[in-house]
Amino acid sequence: MLSFSRYCILFDIYQERGQAESCTTAFGILEMTLRFNFQGKKVLLTGATGDVGKTLVQAFLDSGAKLVATGRSPEKLRLIEGSGEMLKKIPCNMENFDELNAMSNEAIAWLGGCDIFVHTAANMLVKDPLSLDESDWRRALNVNLLAPYFCIKCAMPALKDSLAGRIILFGSGAGKSGGLGHNLTYGASKGGILAMTFNLARELAKTRVTVNCLVPGPIDGPLMREFGPELYKRALEKHPMGRFATAAELVPPTLFLASEEAAHITGEALDVNGGYFTD
Ligand SMILES: NC(=O)c1ccc[n+]([C@@H]2O[C@H](COP(=O)([O-])OP(=O)(O)OC[C@H]3O[C@@H](n4cnc5c(N)ncnc54)[C@H](OP(=O)(O)O)[C@@H]3O)[C@@H](O)[C@H]2O)c1
C-alpha cells in the first residue's frame, strides 16, 4: 500500500521531472490504495442519518475512529451499525437549541474529548422565494448555520486540547450561486457557512484547529430529488460529467481534510462538483 508520505515524495519527484502524465498515474495509485488512519480520534458527526453522513460514519469507523453520530430521526439512527464501544447515536432536532446543547455536551463527555467535528446536517426547503415566512428562515438558519456554530462553541475546549483539531463544515454550490431553484433559505445559509469557515479559520489558526468547508455540487440522492423531476433532469443535462456525484465521492476529500496530514490547510472551501460550478 502507498502511504501518504510516500505518495507526497513520489508526487514531488514526478513534478520535478516535469512528467505530468506519470504524476496522474501516481494519483491513480493513490486513489486505489489511500487509507486513512483515525485510530484514537474522537469524532462528532451531525447529519449521520443523511445520504452523505451515513457514508461518512462507516468510513470513520472503518478507519478506527470513535464516533458520535447524531441525526434528527431516532428510527434512522437505529439503522446505523457499529460497536457500542466505538459508536454512540444521539438523536437531536437541531432546530431546538436546548436539545442541541444537551446533545453536544453528552457527545463530548462520551467521547472523552473531540478531535474532529463534521457538520453535514442540512435543511433545504423548496418554496417560492417571496412566500417564505419567519419559521422557514428560522429552520434553515438554525440547522445550517447556528447549529454548527453552537456545536463548535461547545467542542472548542476539547478541539483546542487535540493535537490536530479539525472542523469540517458542509456548504453547497448554492452558497455561491444562490441555488438551483426555489431554495433561497438554503442558499443564503450555505453562503453564511462559507463566511463562518473563513472567519473561524483565521481566528483559530494559532490553536492548530483547522476549519474547512466541503462545497458539494449536486449529489445523486434524496436532497436533489426534492427539486422535482423537471429541475433534476435539467440540472443533469447541464452537468459537464453527465452525472451527479455519489455520496461516497464526498468521503475521501472529507477524510483528507480531517486527517493529520492536512495540518496546513485551513479556510479552504473545497469544491467537489465535477465541474458543475467553477469560480
Ligand atoms: N445532496 C446534494 O445534492 C447536496 C448538494 C450540495 C451540498 N450538499 C450538502 O451536503 C450535506 C449532506 O447532504 P445530504 O445529501 O447527505 O443531505 P440529506 O440526505 O438530506 O441529509 C440531511 C441530514 O440532515 C439532518 N437534519 C435535517 N434537519 C435536521 C434537524 N432539524 N435536526 C437535526 N438534523 C437534521 C437529517 O436528519 P434526518 O434524516 O434524521 O431527518 C439528515 O441526517 C448537506 O450539508 C448538504 O447541504 C448536498
Q: Which atom of ligand 1 is nearest to the CA of 220?
A: 3
Q: Whose CA is nearest to atom 34 of ligand 1?
A: 72
Which has the closest alpha carbon to 191: 173, 203, 204?
173
The C-alpha cell that represents 105 in the structure block: 455536551
Q: Whose CA is nearest to atom 45 of ligand 1?
A: 120
Cell 438554525, residue located: 142
The C-alpha cell that represents 277 in the structure block: 460550478
Query: What pTM was computed for the model?
Result: 0.90
3-state secondary structure 205-219: HHHCCEEEEEEECCE
Q: Up-side HSE of residue 81: CA atoms within 13 Å toward CB?
A: 1
pLDDT the model gives residue 31: 43
CATH topology of domain 36-272: Rossmann fold (3.40.50)
Ligand 1 binding pocket (C-beta < 6 A) is 47, 49-53, 71-73, 76, 92-95, 120-123, 143, 170, 172-173, 216, 218-219, 221-224
Q: Which atom of ligand 1 is nearest to the CA of 244?
A: 3
Query: Can you give the pLDDT of all 279 residues of the chain as single tens digits?
Result: 455 455 556 655 665 666 644 544 554 444 434 689 999 999 999 999 999 999 999 999 999 999 999 999 999 999 999 999 999 999 999 999 999 999 999 999 999 999 999 999 999 999 999 999 999 999 999 999 999 999 999 999 999 999 999 999 999 999 999 988 899 999 999 999 999 999 999 999 999 999 999 999 999 999 999 999 999 999 999 999 999 999 999 999 999 999 999 999 999 999 999 999 998
Q: Whose CA is nearest to atom 28 of ligand 1?
A: 123
How do strand 116-119 and strand 269-272 relate by DSSP bridges? unpaired
DSSP the chain: ---HHHHHHHHHHHHHTT-HHHHHHHHHHHHHH-----TT-EEEEE-TTSHHHHHHHHHHHHTT-EEEEEES-HHHHHT----TTTEEEEE--TTSHHHHHHHHHHHHHHHTS-SEEEE---------TTS--HHHHHHHHIIIIIHHHHHHHHHHHHHHHSTT-EEEEE--THHHH--SSS-HHHHHHHHHHHHHHHHHHHHHGGGT-EEEEEEE--BSSHHHHTT-HHHHHHHHHH-TTSSPBPGGGGHHHHHHHHSGGGTT--S-EEEESTTSS--
